[in-house]
Copies of this chain bind each other. A is one copy, B any other.
Amino acid sequence: MTDHGVHEATPASPEALKGQEPVRRGRGRTRDSATTAAILDAAMELLVEEDLRKFTIERLASRAGVSKATIYRWWPSRGAVALDAFLNAVDPHVPFPKTTDFLTALRFQASALVRVFRETPAGHVVRALLAEAQSDPDLADAFRTRWVEARRDSGRAVFRRAQESGQIRSDLDLETAIDLVYGPIYYRLLATHQPLTDKFVDDVTAYALRGLAP
């Protein structure tokens, strides 16, 4: 992995996915992948260690055993590193459920998300990233593209298939439909007025199914 999304391209560039090498970029010393890894690992560590206010470039550099300049060479901001570290650790793509039943498929995905938020540090990190994004437009863009939309893509496919098999109505605004399921989950994640229980996922998906039925 040689490239850090927020900067210029997607992290998993096509070449990388095919297992090919980063390709030569002319002369000069090549980027040290151990350094990059150290930074991303240290970032994930810091992100997990509760107090988000302690996620500073200075701390990150010393934790990774790297100079600040090296971090700034590759990432434009705190949030950018955080996002890369997060996506480096958590794959934004949800595996397709095997079933063709809409409710089951929807629950599969919603549960997967909620479980990740609840049982891994990801919940913490997503909260931090969304918070940071509120005052950093570049990060907002990157986060939307690389996390929000990546997950929504998976959801979109499920909804579309259900539409094709007639399990939900056909005059549907797909985007709104997805928000109906993901919206409540993120709302609870951020506002913390109620916990993210399995029951909650079941209820939300059940209501959605009924609301979207043909």
Interface residues of A (CB under 8 A from B): 51-53, 127-128, 130-132, 134-135, 140, 144, 148-149, 152, 173, 175-177, 179-180, 182-188, 190-194, 199-200, 203-204, 206-213
Contact of A173 among B130, B182, B192, B203 (CB under 8 A): B203
A-B contact pairs, 5 of them (CB 8 A): A148-B191, A152-B193, A176-B200, A179-B183, A179-B187
**Contact B193 A180, beta carbon cutoff 8 Å:** no
- A199 to B172, alpha carbons, bound, how many Å? 12
| Residues of chain B within 8 A of A200, CB atoms compared | 176, 179
Contact of A131 among B134, B185, B187, B194 (CB under 8 A): B134
Contact of A130 among B132, B134, B185 (CB under 8 A): B134
Query: How many copies of this kind of chain does the complex include?
Result: 4
- A185 to B194, alpha carbons, bound, how many Å? 17
Known: A134-B131, A207-B208. A179 touches B188 (CB 8 A): yes
**Chain A interface secondary structure, helix, strand, loop or mixed?**
helix
Nearest-neighbour CB distance to chain B for A51, whole angstroms, equals: 7
**Contact B175 A194, beta carbon cutoff 8 Å:** yes
- A179 to B209, alpha carbons, bound, how many Å? 16
Known: A200-B176, A211-B207. A191 touches B134 (CB 8 A): no
**Contact A185 B184, beta carbon cutoff 8 Å:** no
Nearest-neighbour CB distance to chain B for A56, whole angstroms, equals: 12
Nearest-neighbour CB distance to chain B for A109, whole angstroms, equals: 16
- A204 to B186, alpha carbons, bound, how many Å? 16
| Residues of chain B within 8 A of A182, CB atoms compared | 187
- A194 to B140, alpha carbons, bound, how many Å? 13
Contact of A186 among B53, B149, B183 (CB under 8 A): B183
**Contact A187 B192, beta carbon cutoff 8 Å:** no
